[in-house]
A and B are shown apart, each in its own frame.
Chain A
């Protein structure tokens, strides 16, 4: 089966281009992109194909998003999110590959549990689903998991999610062992004593609201320790979220010194700041807490320069009960599979990041980091694509989300940009009705 997407605004993060052109898909793979005017009739005849032609009418066609750090609440809390609902949300958000977190109940820390979720995901989700496994058993930070077996069972990375492995010896051994297998370790850089019990970033706003705080320096201290350990062990390391200005020079140095380090940031830290919490709005409680505007701008710049490699949704479903509590007690996290793209487009409309850079951070870099061939518009890459209108305005309604949980901080906000269709391996998995 062949499909021709013509008259599309092709967003190619690899070439860094944003041009009008066409893209030909043959079965599951991208066959060729055309930037110039082509006589397609001629082409079809010579290759004796009769493709389905989709006129994109100048809308954007980009490689599907690869989202590292999605929480699907299976097993344990299926009422918050299942593979089915997460898959629908992902498809509607232009996410063609979800890379799930192991902080479920129980944790995904053994090949048996991993096998269970792999089966569930394959049955229920229409987009690609890859799984991460815990780095330590029960994410308790004491003993490493069976990294080898878990890799055999398909784990693409190892992480204790938002828990920091406080025992430096345990982490150094886990990193050393992971290196021998070429496993990617994803950590949450944070000094755990400083951040204990914190609900906000220290500063005038949190002081005014009387919330327990953590200094932004806690992230830098955590990152500094981890960088030293990576230098010591030679492991492949990814920092899940770098959200503060003060951590950036350390990251820059580590990269310059040739360490195998990458860093990510959540879409919320790029588009919101601490003041959005306003009168204790718990949908804005995330981990780490939202930062100052200066931090936000510095982090956007770091995504632009490539210092921060990856933008993730950090999709974390929470039910109403977990959020309808005093701010300190309320659960952290926000759903974002469906809002990742429109939120990222805010940065585009504000003139801060262009589309190829955004898709480098959302599609190409995460795919590269995990050794996947998707995330690009190159011939031979899987035809995981998102077709979207970057300009159409709408008001976000959390009850219209496909996720089972509606805890989005963007509820009621004006946004721009909607997904028109999503394709996984050339198959349409979502079309806007």
Chain B
């Protein structure tokens, strides 16, 4: 089991075999997490710091739990409340934390590229928990694990990603991952929420939801941020729901066994019908949350392995 990366900054840097390695290991952790004792000691003695420069409950909780189950010492820092407000730059904050010798740094930041910048300045492994509109690699990995466990494979599937592609780091990471794993990707959304030149990324773009959902195996819905709902990008939430919200009628275009995914948190009645989201036969939204912890455990184990290796060499 080799994983030749110092950090996990994005899906862009990963090779398909890296992705398979992570998912295989994560499968083991799913089993562990379902058992009576959820403890492992692969990270024991290591320090994990979660730096969230942007609000997050689920992702932060997921990383925290993953670290704790692996035996790491986990510290959470709510960065909006701290030194950034006092005018400290990102790099100074990073250097300060670096001096405390963490082994794993989990970072979320509202600006694209900020996590890359930080990774250049610290000695530990950096895990991107979402940077701006750029990447959210663990989300794509947990989505991949969910799909693989449900469909038995990641290749030659037809996956629809629907909604606000333009502002979504989840969409970008998923597009890259699914392309690497040789699945077909369809992007569906209003043109105002579609990034320029996206058609050059090996995807098919649809403005009509009925057309776009035709015979897909997976329907991935994206969250529509509240601040983008009023007139700027779409006329109103109700018109959006009418044209792009996932309901039974639109879902009927997809394959009969198509699964429904959502990275959460959901806006019921805006991008997805509440009943569909709760339909245990179609919706794998709760599975995604479960896979999230397992995937993060897997990634952290792999990064820690390399980290111990480098530290060992240095000593």
User: Measuring CB to CB, which residues of chain A are less than 8 angstroms from any residue of chain B?
Assistant: 202-211, 213, 215, 279-280, 321, 324-329
Contacts and interface: CB of A to CB of B under 8 A. Distances in A.
Nearest to B115: A326
Nearest to A201: B196
Contact of B172 (A210, A213, A280): A210
B112 A202 contact: no
A215 B196 contact: yes
Contact of A210 (B91, B117, B133, B196): B133
Most buried by A among B91, B109, B197: B197
B247 interface: no
Given A280-B116, A325-B90, A326-B117, A206 B111 contact: no
Nearest to A324: B91
Nearest to B118: A326
B198 interface: yes
Given A324-B89, A324-B91, A207 B196 contact: yes
A210 B132 contact: yes
A204 B132 contact: no
24 contacts: A202-B195, A202-B196, A203-B197, A204-B197, A206-B195, A206-B197, A207-B196, A207-B201, A209-B113, A209-B134, A210-B113, A210-B131, A210-B134, A210-B135, A210-B169, A211-B113, A215-B196, A280-B117, A321-B89, A326-B114, A326-B117, A327-B112, A327-B113, A328-B132
Report whether over half of chain A's contact residues are helix, strand or loop; otherwise say mixed: loop
Contacts of B37: none
Nearest to A328: B111
Contact of A326 (B113, B172, B200): B113
Given A210-B132, A210-B172, A279-B116, A327 B111 contact: yes
Nearest to B134: A210
A207 B197 contact: yes
B112 A211 contact: yes
Contacts of B109: 326
Nearest to B135: A210
Contact of A280 (B112, B195, B198): B112
Contacts of B198: 204, 207
A329 B111 contact: yes
Contact of A204 (B114, B116, B131, B200): B200
Given A204-B196, A325-B90, A326-B132, 14 more contacts: A202-B196, A206-B197, A207-B195, A207-B201, A208-B201, A210-B113, A210-B133, A211-B113, A279-B113, A321-B89, A325-B89, A326-B109, A326-B114, A328-B111
Interface of B: 89-91, 109, 111-114, 116-117, 131-135, 169, 172, 195-198, 200-201
A206 B135 contact: no
A328 B116 CA distance: 13
- Interface residues of B: mostly helix, strand, loop or mixed? mixed
B154 to A, nearest CB: 21
A208 B169 CA distance: 10
Contact of A206 (B89, B117, B196): B196
Contacts of A215: 196
B303 to A, nearest CB: 19
B128 to A, nearest CB: 12
A328 B133 CA distance: 12
Contacts of A279: 113, 116
A213 B197 CA distance: 12
Contacts of B195: 202, 206-207
A279 B200 CA distance: 19
B112 A203 contact: no
Contacts of A202: 195-197
A208 B175 CA distance: 10
Nearest to B197: A204
Contacts of A208: 172, 201
Contacts of B134: 209-210
Contacts of B201: 204, 207-208
B196 A328 contact: no
A7 B114 CA distance: 54
Interface centre among A204, A205, A208, A209 (most CB of B within 10 A): A208
A202 B198 CA distance: 10
Contacts of A324: 89, 91, 117
Contacts of B135: 210
B125 to A, nearest CB: 18
B305 to A, nearest CB: 25
A213 B90 contact: no
Given A203-B196, A210-B135, A328-B132, A280 B89 contact: no
Contacts of A325: 89-91, 117
Contacts of B169: 210
A210 B166 CA distance: 8
Instruction: Return the 9 tightest CB-CB contacts between A and B, nearest first.
Output: A210-B133, A204-B197, A280-B113, A210-B134, A207-B195, A210-B112, A326-B114, A202-B196, A326-B111
